[in-house]
Amino acid sequence: MAITDLPVFQALRTKMQWHQARQKVLAENVANADTPGFHSRDLREVSFTNTLKGSRAQYVRQAVTNEGHMQARSQDGPNRPQKVGSFEITPEGNSVVLEEQMMKVTANQMDYQAATSIYARGLGVIKTALGKR
């Protein structure tokens, strides 16, 4: 299991991908701000319910050395491939308001920075555990 398959990193990665996709949609909105008939769009917020469920699953399988042993089943948790770039785009139904889009871009950037900071901190924790510091 790679380090990046840990649930924390998985969730953060999904979040970062979501912000990346959102930044693209917002850029489209701003670029088309003066196009007649263009409606601004946004991404539907990502749900982490499934990711959290996955983190509670057991990953480690017990070895069976005797017929009578009960085996703890491993769920399809950590190694499940994650779909990338399938975030739902929803129309907002109004034409583009530049100020609103700027606020969204800023919020998006800040949230992304928060996610990358936590990611880096998480890596730091693992490095500490490895004794590399």
Partner 1 sequence: MDFVRTLMIAASGLKAQNGRMRVIAENIANKDSTGRTPEEDPYRRKIPTFRSKFDRELDAQVVQLGRIERDSSAFQVRHDPGHPAADAAGNVRTPNVNTLVETVDIREARRSYEANLNVIQSTRTMLQRTIDILRG
Kindly tell me which residue out of 21, 57, 59, 77 binds partner 1, with binding defined by CB under 8 A: 21
> Which residue, 31 or 72, is less far from partner 1 as judged by CB?
31
The SS3 assignment for 89 reads strand
Q: How far apart are CA 37 and CA 78, in angstroms?
A: 44
Q: Which stretch binds partner 1 (CB under 8 A): 46-54, 56-64, 68-76, 98-106?
A: 98-106
Q: Which stretch binds partner 1 (CB under 8 A): 42-50, 56-64, 75-83, 102-110?
A: 102-110
Query: Judged by CB under 8 A, does residue 45 bind partner 1?
Result: no
Of 10, 109, 85, nearest to 50 (Cα)? 10
Task: Give Cβ neighbours of residue 117 (< 8 Å, ≥ 6 apart).
Answer: none
Kindly tell me which residue out of 3, 52, 64, 123 binds partner 1, with binding defined by CB under 8 A: 123
Q: How far apart are CA 47 and CA 58, in angstroms?
A: 21
Q: How far apart are CA 49 and CA 103, in angstroms?
A: 27
Contact residues: partner 1, CB under 8 A = 16-17, 19-21, 23-24, 26-28, 30-38, 85, 98, 101-102, 105-106, 108-109, 112-113, 116-117, 119-120, 123-124, 127
